[in-house]
């Protein structure tokens, strides 16, 4: 049966993430945060994981929280008030000796971690969940097991590449956006080694990322006239060509193209001076040329409140901005704040997207 947009919200699907990391611990804390005020029909979520592993991990953590195994996403609502609902992975239970090894990731669990993401994506594409919220993965462990992607962003782009976006004018990602109350940043190259960044940067790629971000600002964030700050690549944005040529040869034409196509973009800006408070007030999102250029500022000012969002997909995906926290896993000290922010963000995006897309269909959007 199709979901009634006027009815109660669909649940979110949380993926298990790296089982040796802090994913389950922050999921339990996030569940506690939302469940205490939960009333039937309100926002809720479930975890896609191995229930046997979860039960064992709960004992290991000495957690008073109880879990319940559900058979379908629709059962999550009834379970949520008193228990963390867990939808089982569609595979055999994980071997006991690999199920809880906090701090010690193993390729033995890689298949489960990847399957959890695939199941979540399928539920989102099938309209059974409002979106997916991914717990952090240990990329090297997955890659060592044969995983061909350098992160969720790239994997989600591949899993959904054949599914049409809901409207023809939308530009496809995947594009990584990290968002907090005070800063949004989108790196053009994502998990690219620094030595290859310059080769991968093209005018077209910068323009495509900027357009996906501009569209999302309108559709998902309610910004009616998005303004984008585009960073340079080199020190001082190339210092007029004296410190590198990409800024003038690749980035300037991208900004010109964007402006010709109605996107209010400006730059290239020296990356070291575009993130202080007064500079941030001039734009709705920063487009940076590589991962650390944008992620260092946002993780510095908003490590516990930012979300990592994948734009340009036919589904909603958010994630905490931090990683697997192997150094603190199993000690019950991990903060759930970024996961809580990501759950809120996914629910907010789902509501805004639904309203925006409906307004397009009814012809009332400006
Ligand atoms: N969404 C994702 O899947 C995602 C995101 C970022 C990093 N990663 C992966 O995570 C792994 C570890 O990365 P890292 O060590 O660079 O970053 P990290 O975020 O895991 O850890 C950095 C520091 O922050 C602390 N920290 C992280 N989360 C915390 C929390 N919730 N509460 C309190 N302290 C917290 C850690 O203890 C550590 O000291 C890598 O494999 C990386 O690729 C995955
Ligand atoms: N680049 C992200 C970060 O540092 O926060 C992280 O590696 C997660 O990337 P994916 O969402 O692609 O897994």
Q: What is the pLDDT of residues 175-227, one digit of tens each?
A: 999 999 999 999 999 999 999 999 999 999 999 999 999 999 999 999 999 99
H runs (alpha helix) in 186-336:
194-200, 203-219, 246, 252-260, 277-280, 291-302
pLDDT, one tens digit per residue, over 288-310 is 999 999 999 999 999 999 999 99
> Using the 8-state DSSP alphabet, how is residue 283 labeled?
-
Q: How far is the CA of 295 from the centre of ligand 2 (A)?
A: 9
| Structural element, H or E, at residue 64 | none
For residue 336, which atom of ligand 1 is closest to its CA?
31
Apex 178 CA angle, 200 and 137, nearest 5: 80
Tokens standing for 267?
Answer: 């730059």
Dist. CA 23–CA 183, nearest whole Å: 25
Whose C-alpha lies nearest to ligand 2, atom 5? Answer: 321
Q: Do the beta carbons of residue 156 and residue 121 sit within 8 Å?
A: yes
Q: How far is the CA of 18 from the centre of ligand 1 (A)?
A: 11
Q: How far is the CA of 231 from the centre of ligand 1 (A)?
A: 25
Q: If pLDDT is split at 50, 70 and 90, which confidence band does 60 have? A: confident
Q: In this predicted structure, what is the pLDDT of residue 93?
A: 75
Whose C-alpha lies nearest to ligand 1, atom 2? Answer: 136
The fraction of the chain above a pLDDT of 90, given in percent, is 89
Q: In this predicted structure, what is the pLDDT of residue 365?
A: 46
Apex 342 CA angle, 233 and 109, nearest 5: 90
Name the residue with higher pLDDT: 48 or 364: 48
Reported residue count of the chain is 366
Q: Is the CB of residue 151 below 6 angstroms from any atom belonging to ligand 2?
A: yes
Mutate to test the pocket of ligand 1, among 15, 102, 105, 136 (most ligand atoms within 8 A of CB): 136
Q: In this predicted structure, what is the pLDDT of residue 30?
A: 98
Q: In this predicted structure, what is the pLDDT of residue 40?
A: 87
Cα Rg of the chain, angstroms = 21
- The overall longest dimension of the chain from CA atoms, in Å, is 64
Q: Is the CB of residue 336 below 6 angstroms from any atom belonging to ligand 2?
A: no
Whose C-alpha lies nearest to ligand 2, atom 2? Answer: 321
Whose C-alpha lies nearest to ligand 2, atom 8? Answer: 151
Dist. CA 347–CA 131, nearest whole Å: 8
Name the residue with higher pLDDT: 6 or 88: 88
Q: Is 261 helix (H, G, I), strand (E, B) or coil?
A: coil
The structural domains of the chain, ordered by start, are 1-163+314-366 (3.40.718.10), 168-313 (3.40.718.10)
For residue 152, which atom of ligand 1 is closest to its CA?
3
Mutate to test the pocket of ligand 2, among 151, 183, 299 (most ligand atoms within 8 A of CB): 151
Q: How far is the CA of 366 from the centre of ligand 1 (A)?
A: 40
Mean pLDDT for 1-19 is: 85
Q: In this predicted structure, what is the pLDDT of residue 110?
A: 95
Q: Do the beta carbons of residue 23 and residue 54 sit within 8 Å?
A: no
pLDDT, one tens digit per residue, over 239-274 is 999 999 999 999 999 999 999 999 999 999 999 999
Residue 99 has pLDDT above 70, yes or no: no
How do strand 285-288 and strand 184-187 relate by DSSP bridges? parallel
Q: If pLDDT is split at 50, 70 and 90, which confidence band does 8 have? A: confident
Q: If pLDDT is split at 50, 70 and 90, which confidence band does 357 have? A: confident
Mutate to test the pocket of ligand 2, among 319, 322, 324, 341 (most ligand atoms within 8 A of CB): 319
- Nearest bound ligand to CA 337? 1
Closest CA to 67 of 48, 54, 53, 49: 54
Residue 358 has pLDDT above 90, yes or no: no
For residue 155, which atom of ligand 2 is closest to its CA?
12
Q: In this predicted structure, what is the pLDDT of residue 270?
A: 98
Q: If pLDDT is split at 50, 70 and 90, which confidence band does 2 have? A: low
Residue 366 has pLDDT above 60, yes or no: no
Q: How far is the CA of 156 from the centre of ligand 1 (A)?
A: 20
Q: How far is the CA of 35 from the centre of ligand 1 (A)?
A: 25
Interface ipTM > 0.90: yes
Q: Is the CB of residue 307 below 6 angstroms from any atom belonging to ligand 2?
A: no
Residue 359 has pLDDT above 90, yes or no: no
Residues with CB under 6 A from ligand 1: 22, 26, 134, 136-140, 152, 308, 319, 322-325, 327-328, 334-335
pLDDT, one tens digit per residue, over 329-351 is 999 999 999 999 999 999 999 99
Q: If pLDDT is split at 50, 70 and 90, which confidence band does 98 have? A: low
User: CB 315: neighbour CB atoms within 10 A?
Assistant: 22
Q: Do the beta carbons of residue 126 and residue 143 sit within 8 Å?
A: no
Q: Is 173 helix (H, G, I), strand (E, B) or coil?
A: coil
Tokens standing for 116?
Answer: 């959890």
């Amino acid at each position: 049966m199709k979901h009634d947009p006027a009815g109660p919200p669909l649940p979110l699907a949380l993926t298990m993430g790296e089982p040796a990391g802090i994913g389950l611990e922050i999921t339990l804390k996030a569940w506690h945060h939302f469940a205490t005020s939960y009333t039937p029909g309100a926002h809720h979520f479930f975890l896609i994981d191995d229930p046997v592993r979860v039960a064992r991990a709960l004992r290991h953590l000495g957690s008073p929280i109880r879990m319940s195994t559900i058979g379908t996403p629709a059962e999550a609502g009834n379970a949520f008030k008193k228990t963390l609902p867990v939808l089982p992975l569609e595979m055999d239970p994980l071997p006991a000796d690999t199920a809880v090894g906090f701090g010690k990731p193993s390729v033995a669990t890689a298949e489960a971690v990847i399957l959890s993401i695939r199941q979540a994506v399928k539920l989102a594409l099938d309209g059974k969940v409002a979106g997916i919220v991914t717990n952090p993965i240990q990329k090297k462990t997955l890659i060592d097991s044969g995983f061909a992607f350098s992160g969720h962003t790239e994997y989600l782009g591949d899993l959904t590449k054949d599914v049409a976006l809901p409207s023809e004018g939308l530009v496809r990602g995947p594009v990584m956006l990290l968002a907090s109350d005070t800063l949004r940043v989108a790196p053009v190259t994502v998990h690219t080694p620094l030595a290859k960044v310059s080769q991968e940067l093209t005018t077209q790629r910068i323009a495509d990322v900027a357009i996906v971000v501009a569209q999302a600002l309108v559709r998902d964030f309610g910004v009616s006239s998005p303004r984008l700050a585009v960073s340079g690549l080199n020190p001082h944005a190339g210092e007029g060509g004296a410190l590198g040529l990409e800024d003038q040869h690749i980035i300037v034409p991208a900004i010109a193209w964007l402006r010709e196509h109605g996107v209010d973009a400006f730059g290239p800006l020296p990356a070291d001076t575009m993130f202080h408070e007064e500079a941030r007030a001039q734009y709705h999102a920063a487009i940076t040329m590589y991962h650390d250029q944008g992620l260092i500022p946002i993780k510095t000012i908003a490590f516990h409140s930012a979300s990592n969002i994948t734009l340009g997909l036919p589904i909603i995906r958010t994630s905490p901005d931090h990683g697997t926290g192997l150094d603190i896993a199993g000690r019950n000290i991990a903060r759930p704040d970024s996961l809580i922010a990501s759950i809120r963000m996914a629910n907010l995006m789902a509501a805004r997207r639904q309203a925006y897309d409906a307004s397009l269909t009814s012809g009332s959007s400006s």
